[in-house]
């Protein structure tokens, strides 16, 4: 691996570890608030952890367009395709996260479970469908 690739890999790993650590710390705080201090009930712990998951989706969606992973791109057209795919993917991931959080904060539990899965699944489907459409309708040009 080149130095640039190594640096990007280390940054990606560090970001993932920080996000996971924050989610684990939040879950631990919620669990301790319930079990040791009795400040919140089990339902609030569950909903709080689900909100943390939604915040993780939003964070990942926000970071997607900013990361340029993979092989260096040779043409302007290929750069535009990659950028549009990561932007739409980021927006969809963020939208799925916001819907997930909204359902887990305001909806009854049964609706939050099923609605959250449907929302994140639908936004993921849109993301994948857009990427496939974009790549198929705008074929890559070969480098000169």
Provide the domain limits for residue 21: 3-137
Tokens of 136: 């198929």
DSSP 40: S
Q: Is residue 143 part of a domain?
A: no
Reported confidence tier of residue 76, pLDDT bands at 50, 70, 90: confident
User: CA 131 → CA 36, 84, 86, 134, distances in Å?
Assistant: 47, 9, 9, 5
Residue 140: the pLDDT is: 61
| 87 closest CA partner among 119, 130, 44, 122 | 130
Number of domains in the chain: 1
pLDDT over threshold 60, residue 143: no
The mean pLDDT of the chain is 89
pTM: 0.84
Q: Is residue 75 part of a domain?
A: yes
pLDDT digits (tens, 9 = 90+) for 14-61: 988 999 999 999 999 999 999 998 899 999 999 999 999 999 999 999
> How many whole angstroms separate alpha carbon 120 and alpha carbon 95?
8
Mean pLDDT of 89-105: 96
Tokens of 127: 């993301």
Determine the distance from the C-alpha atom of residue 61 to the mean position of all C-alpha atoms in its chain, rounded to a whole number: 4
140/81: higher pLDDT: 81
Q: Is residue 142 part of a domain?
A: no
Q: What angle do helix axes 76-106 and 42-63 make, rounded to 10 degrees?
A: 170
Mean pLDDT of 2-25: 87
Q: For the stretch 71-85, what's the b/e string if a residue is b when 16 or more beta carbons lie within 10 angstroms of its beta carbon? A: eebeeeebeebbeeb
Q: Is residue 113 part of a domain?
A: yes
Q: Is residue 109 part of a domain?
A: yes
78/56: higher pLDDT: 56
Q: Is residue 48 part of a domain?
A: yes
Residue 144: the pLDDT is: 46
């Amino acid at each position: 691996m080149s130095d640039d690739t190594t640096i990007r890999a280390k940054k990606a790993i560090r970001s993932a570890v920080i996000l996971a650590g924050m989610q684990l710390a939040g879950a631990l705080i919620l669990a301790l608030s319930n079990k040791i201090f009795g400040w919140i009930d089990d339902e609030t712990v569950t909903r709080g952890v689900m909100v943390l998951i939604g915040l993780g989706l939003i964070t990942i969606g926000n970071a997607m367009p900013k990361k340029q992973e993979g092989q260096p791109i040779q043409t302007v057209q290929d750069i535009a395709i990659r950028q549009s795919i990561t932007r739409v993917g980021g927006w969809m991931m963020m939208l799925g996260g916001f819907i997930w959080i909204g359902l887990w904060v305001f909806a009854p539990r049964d609706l939050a479970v099923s609605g959250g899965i449907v929302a994140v699944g639908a936004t993921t489907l849109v993301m994948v469908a857009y990427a496939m459409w974009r790549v198929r309708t705008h074929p890559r040009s070969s480098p000169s």
